[in-house]
Each structure stands twice: as structure tokens, then as C-alpha cells.
Amino acid sequence: MAWGYNGYGQTNIPVPNSGFVSVAAGRFHNLGLKTDGSIVAWGCGDPDYVYGQCNVPAPNNGFIGVAAGGYYSLGLKA
């Protein structure tokens, strides 16, 4: 569940909204770490604030942690 200001889609959690083991919040985006080790990113709906922070690089697997900042995202691998 997410709530608050949604001017950039940051509270619109993608469906299916299940299987998350960890989440992180950036300035205009969020990250969710799934049980399968993949990362889901959402938000940044305004083109003026899109800097690639929601573009999870391939291969999107094997992650054990996530973190998000103002205009960047981090994924920790085992």
C-alpha cells in the first residue's frame, strides 16, 4: 500500500502488488524487491523528472537489496 502525494505516479504500485520483500523510496520513484530477486520500479511519470531511475538493467535477477535516492536507484546483488 502506498499513499501521499502522487504527482509522478509514485503511489501507483504495479499489479500484481504482491511478493515484495523490501521497498525503497526515491524523490519521484519507488523500488520493490520481489521474492524472486527481481526489482520492480515505478513513478517518474513526469518526463521532466525522468533520469532512468526506473529503468532496471538486465538481467533483472539475483538482487538481495534495493536503495533509492533523488534521481538514482541501487540494486545489491549477492
- Is 9 among the domain residues? no
Q: Is residue 56 part of a domain?
A: yes
Q: How many domains does the chain have?
A: 1
pTM value is: 0.92
Residue 15, classified by CB atoms within 10 Å of its CB into exposed (0-12), middle (13-18) or buried (19+), is exposed
Q: According to the model, what pLDDT value does residue 37 have?
A: 98
Print the domain residue range for 42: 20-77
Which amino acid belongs to residue 3? W
- Average pLDDT on 7-22 reads 94
Q: Could you report the per-residue pLDDT of 22-71, keeping only the tens digit for each?
A: 999 999 999 999 999 999 999 998 888 889 999 999 999 999 999 999 99
pLDDT mean over 3-27: 94
Q: How far is CA 74 from CA 5, 7, 15, 33, 40, in A?
A: 23, 23, 22, 11, 12
Question: Are the C-beta atoms of residues 44 and 54 closer than 8 Å to each other?
Answer: yes
Residue 14 in any domain: the answer is: no
**Is 15 domain-assigned?**
no
Q: Is residue 3 part of a domain?
A: no
